[in-house]
Amino acid sequence: MDILGPFVNIIAKYLIAPLVRRINYSRNFRDNVNALQTSIRNLTSRKNDEESKLQAAENDGQVQTHAARNWFNAVSEIEREADEIQGEYNQGTCAQGWSVNCWSRYKVSKRSIKLKTKADLRLMEQLSVARPPSPKPVIETGNEPIQNQSSTQQNLQQLIDCIKNRPHGIIGVYGMGGVGKTTLVGELNDRFKENSIFDTVIMVTVSATPNIKDIRTRISERLGLDLSNTSEDGAREKLLNALRKKKFLLILDDVWHQLELKNVGIPHPTRSHEGSKIILTTRNQYVCMDMKAEFTMKVKPLSGDEAWTFFVENVRSDVIANDSIKCFAKKIVDRCGGLPLAIVTVARAMANHDGVGKWANAEREMRESIQDIRGMEEKVLTLLKFSFDRLDNDMLRSLFLYCACFPEDHNIIKDEILYFCVGEGLVDRLNSLTAAGYKGEDLIGSLKAACMLEDGEDVEDGSVRMHVMMRGLALWITSPESDCSSKFLIRTGGPEKEFIAGKILEVPSTGGVIVEAPKANEWVGTTRISLMKIGIGELPELGERCQNLATLLVRNCCRIHTIPPTNFFQHMDHLSVLDLCRTYKLKFLPDSLSCLVNLRVLRLQYCFELLGLPALGKLRQLQVLDLHKCEKLEYQILRSEWMEGICKLTYLDVLGSLVSFEAGIISSLHKLEELRTKGARMMNSRVSSENENNEGAGIDVRELYHLTQLTSLHISFKNMVISDWFKPLVEKTVELMLNCCTVVKDVIDALDKSQNPLKRLTIEHESLGLPYLPTRVEELFINECDDMEVVFDGVATPDCDSFSRLKKLVLQFLPKLKRICVDPAPQNCFHQLSHIHISGCNRLKAVFTKGMSGAFNNLKKIDIGGCYMMEVIIEVEEEGSHISRKICFPKLESLRLVFLPTLTDMCSNCVVDYPRLRESIVLECPRLKKDLLHKLVTFHQGITAKVFE
């Protein structure tokens, strides 16, 4: 039996067991097929559920996973095979479902068991059907492409060129709110949709209160990174490593403060990741500096034509076709100042209105109360106010609002900002008028950087302007309806307009019908009042207190003869700035002026008819006194008893005024820093005895020696010998005017060696002979000097610094002048010259001669007129010289040639190029070559050209 055991086991394993299984397949045939169908039904239900999940995920933008695709394919194959088995089962059964063919029954049963096993495995399989899509290199913004805006296209092309062809890693784009910065960079983003040079382009909005984690998350999502369940440091490193592996363009939109790239996880594009770029947009140029942008670009408002085209694109064409509506529409667009956000807002508000009255009303609202235009307050003014609210301090906000006191499009000069600073008490805080002036420049710089102010007419001299929408913002903020503590009463005009604390009324010009001044009750509660360029005839009697009034500007109101004599100023306890400039017919000031105990600034400039002043001794806070061109003030008006209380005076201007001071008054002004005076005198220094009756007029120079704080002296002399007595004043002299004077050589040497070079030198009727001119001067005016033949002689004045600072040169009525410069001239001579004006120099044949080539580089304006022997503007050397035959004025913007009967050409032997020329005026130049005339007219697109034959 032991011998048979192994044989029995083998037989049982290889013969009996398979036989039993086959018998069971056949015996359990029906059960196995039914079990398969049950598994298939369960699997199909699972498939339907997963398909629903996939559909929902795809609706959310996700895509099917590869595993899900394989699973669905496998399930479909199982279902197909199950259908075959079921078909064979149905075909192979007889009555009561028993197959006649046992072999077929066996095969079907066996396949059912195997397929059921597969189905059960797929049923139990864990599956993720969808995932976020793979990051696209560029996600389009969906904005319409920018069209019909050449300036925007130029900006876009400049950005693309900077990205592709320059090594700048960080690029800054700045401009005022609503000017189109986001639109510009959005268009840039879309441009890289096709043929992108980057692996990925990412655009993220930062906002005024940035959340570093949120910014990091949005960037990581664009890269397909999952930073969930990751620590702060870990997320930063993960993003940093991912970006380092890519060449990226990152657009950070609406940046308000410096963003530390390393804290977010962004590699610096030039230091560690060359080829990648970061572009940021901001309303503040200082943010570009803080972010160390290597290239910055300012987005400016649209031009007039672009603004109109943009407006028309957003209204119905049939509406604008009406000429009456079109007239109002153009005025509305003009008042938007080229700001795209304002244009599109008002366009949408008016898009479907075809009534002339509706458009007329809208035009009136744009002038009087811009906030009444539908959408303007919430979409435009509120957005601009965000810039106002984000200014760093109250002083900046106050100065911004103060600038709205001036008429629309007014050129606000540096001195007007200085008076604001004085009025705000900065001289007391900083202990210096000069320091207050520097602070004013800093404040203006901050407002310009924040795009709240714009450059004025004279950029070099620091003048600024308010954009029309920014001025509208300031008027809205200071209107009676606002919650701002500053309340302004502003009526400024000119030929057409008057603005009233958020409202603007039509008024006649200053020569028109008399306009009623604001009533007394309107003055109460105001902090600043501005009445400028309007035809008011008189000011009201003020019976109520104006305790809050800090600034009163009554300027260019030529109909005002007097100020109410009783108590006009009596209740203005806090008035710090009183400006009555150009109130031409004003003859007297009331005695109540002495009640202004907190007055710091008193300006009476160009009050031609003013006959007298009340006592000023009680104005103990007075720091600025401006009597410029008060021509009828009597000589002895400033007596000691009227001036003795003015101990804080830092600025005094009596230029053009027939004013003298009792002995000791000037020397007692110990804090005086800036003095502008005409008619100064010095004993035994007169050239002649002319005007001996006026010997006592003006200021005794010896008193100036005692003014230890004096830093800026603007002084004129007539019929005097300027000798050693002037040397102590050389370092303090900013402007020097000489009329029929003789200046000794030692004084000229002292002027040229001064640590504080002259800003302006004016020489008139100089016939007694300067040995040579002071050359370290910024502005030089020479008028009616009959014997002058040469302005600068390089042989007589070989100093290499000669005229290297000169920015403006004015030569008028010099009958013997033959040449401006006699060579050789130092290398840097005239290289800062930006403006040259020549008139009435009848022997001058050329403006620029040998030695003046340095003047070409920075010249912006050339104005030549009434020079009857002028042949060419530029005289080049003879053939064979080293001078180029092509001469370029790279910065020239304005060219004026008037009454030059012998002028034939700009230059006889060379081609002259002026790539930035914007304005050219040619009048009475009959011999000027026709091809030059044609070139001046057609040289540059957008040029303003006037040619009079």
Q: What is the pLDDT of residues 471-524, one digit of tens each?
A: 999 999 998 888 888 899 998 875 434 333 333 333 334 433 346 788 888 888
CA dihedral 696, 699, 702, 704 (to 10 degrees): 170
d(CA 753, CA 756) in angstroms, rounded, equals 9
DSSP notation for 220-283: HHHHT---TT--HHHHHHHHHHHHHTS-EEEEEEEE-S---HHHHT---TTTT-BTBEEEEEES
d(CA 86, CA 108) in angstroms, rounded, equals 9
CA atoms within 13 A on the CB side of 89: 23
Instruction: Flag whether pLDDT at 754 surpasses 50.
Output: yes
DSSP notation for 361-423: HHHHHHHH-GGGSTTHIIIIIHHHHHHHHTSSSHHHHHHHHHHTTSPTT--B-HHHHHHHHHH
Handedness of CA 659, 663, 665, 670 (dihedral sign): positive
Per-residue pLDDT, 671: 93
Instruction: Flag whether pLDDT at 88 surpasses 90.
Output: no
The crossing angle, in degrees rounded to 10, of helices 212-223 and 232-244 is 40
CA dihedral 506, 509, 513, 518 (to 10 degrees): 60
The single-letter code of the amino acid at 260 is E
Which tokens go with 730? 């050389």
**Residue 127: pLDDT band by 50, 70, 90 thresholds?**
confident
pLDDT in tens, 810-827: 999 999 999 888 876 667
**Residue 872: pLDDT band by 50, 70, 90 thresholds?**
very high
pLDDT in tens, 41-73: 998 998 999 899 989 988 888 888 899 899 999
Which tokens go with 661? 């001071």
Residue 872 has φ and ψ, to the nearest 5°, of -140, 160
d(CA 280, CA 179) in angstroms, rounded, equals 15
- CB count in 10 Å sphere of residue 161: 10
Q: Residue 33: left if φ>0, alpha if ψ -120 to 50, beta else—which one?
A: alpha
Highest mean pLDDT among 456-465, 612-621, 637-646: 612-621
d(CA 166, CA 650) in angstroms, rounded, equals 51
Per-residue pLDDT, 391: 94
- Does 3.30.360.10 match the CATH number of domain 150-298? no
Inter-CA distances, 148 with 310, 339, 341, Å: 8, 15, 16
d(CA 176, CA 183) in angstroms, rounded, equals 13
Which tokens go with 610? 């003013």
Per-residue pLDDT, 39: 87
pLDDT in tens, 770-785: 556 788 899 999 998 8
The single-letter code of the amino acid at 731 is E
Per-residue pLDDT, 739: 81
Per-residue pLDDT, 390: 93
CA atoms within 13 A on the CB side of 831: 10
What secondary structure, in 3-state letters, does 54-87 show?
HHHHHHCCCEECHHHHHHHHHHHHHHHHHHHHHH
d(CA 808, CA 780) in angstroms, rounded, equals 6
Average pLDDT over residues 447-467: 88
Instruction: Flag whether pLDDT at 564 surpasses 60.
Output: yes
The mean-pLDDT minimum among 496-500, 608-612, 678-682, 753-757 falls in 496-500
Name residue 863's beta-bridge partners: 837, 896
Residue that wins the pLDDT comparison between 530 and 639? 530
Instruction: Flag whether pLDDT at 99 surpasses 50.
Output: no
**Residue 102: pLDDT band by 50, 70, 90 thresholds?**
low
Could you tell me which residues come within 8 angstroms of residue 523 by beta carbon, excluding any fewer than 6 positions away? 489, 529, 540, 542, 544, 546, 549
Note if the bond before 824 is cis, omega within 30 degrees: yes
Q: How many residues does the chain have?
A: 949
- CB count in 10 Å sphere of residue 545: 14
Per-residue pLDDT, 193: 84
**Residue 639: pLDDT band by 50, 70, 90 thresholds?**
low
Cβ pair 809, 836 in contact under 8 A:
yes
Instruction: Flag whether pLDDT at 172 surpasses 50.
Output: yes
Inter-CA distances, 935 with 739, 862, 913, Å: 42, 17, 10
Highest mean pLDDT among 623-637, 695-709, 808-822: 808-822
DSSP notation for 162-218: HHHHS--SEEEEE--TTSSHHHHHHHHHHHTTSS-SSSEEEEEEEESS--HHHHHHH
In this structure, what DSSP letter does residue 845 have?
A: -
Which tokens go with 595? 């009640």
d(CA 585, CA 537) in angstroms, rounded, equals 11
Mean residue pLDDT of the chain comes to 83
DSSP notation for 428-463: HHHT-HHHHHHHHHHHHHHHHHTTSSEE-S-TTTT-
pLDDT in tens, 386-404: 999 999 999 999 999 999 9
pLDDT in tens, 686-698: 444 444 444 445 6
Which residue ranges make up each domain of the chain?
5-131, 150-298, 304-373, 391-477, 484-593, 788-949
**Residue 750: pLDDT band by 50, 70, 90 thresholds?**
confident
Per-residue pLDDT, 351: 83
**Residue 787: pLDDT band by 50, 70, 90 thresholds?**
confident
**Residue 117: pLDDT band by 50, 70, 90 thresholds?**
confident
**Residue 462: pLDDT band by 50, 70, 90 thresholds?**
confident
- Does 1.10.10 match the CATH number of domain 391-477? yes
The single-letter code of the amino acid at 202 is I
Per-residue pLDDT, 21: 57
Percent of the chain with pLDDT over 90: 38
In this structure, what DSSP letter does residue 515 have?
A: B
Handedness of CA 507, 509, 513, 517 (dihedral sign): positive
**Residue 946: pLDDT band by 50, 70, 90 thresholds?**
low
Instruction: Flag whether pLDDT at 769 surpasses 50.
Output: no
Rg value, the chain, Cα: 42
Average pLDDT over residues 16-36: 64
Per-residue pLDDT, 3: 62
DSSP notation for 700-721: BHHHHTT-TT--EEEEEEESBE
Cβ pair 844, 838 in contact under 8 A:
yes
Lay out the sheet containing 905-907: strands in order across.
846-848, 872-874, 905-907
Which residue carries 């008037």 as its tokens? 898
Which tokens go with 253? 């939109």
Cβ pair 770, 798 in contact under 8 A:
no
d(CA 387, CA 72) in angstroms, rounded, equals 57
DSSP reduced 3-state for 926: coil
Per-residue pLDDT, 664: 83
Average pLDDT over residues 198-215: 91
What secondary structure, in 3-state letters, does 75-130 show?
HHHHHHHHHHHHHHHHHCCCHHHCCCCHHHHHHHHHHHHHHHHHHHHHHHCCCCCE
Per-residue pLDDT, 439: 94
Q: Which of 583, 616, 581, 582 is nearest to 600 (CA)?
A: 616
The mean-pLDDT minimum among 319-328, 637-646, 694-703 falls in 694-703
pLDDT in tens, 273-332: 678 999 999 999 999 999 999 999 999 999 999 999 999 988 888 888 888 899 999 999
Per-residue pLDDT, 558: 83
CA atoms within 13 A on the CB side of 170: 22
d(CA 131, CA 753) in angstroms, rounded, equals 78
Average pLDDT over residues 135-152: 82
Per-residue pLDDT, 773: 78
Which residue carries 């993220």 as its tokens? 204
The mean-pLDDT minimum among 530-544, 630-644, 830-844 falls in 630-644
Name residue 355's beta-bridge partners: none
Return the percent helix, strand and coil in the chain, to nearest 5: 35, 20, 45
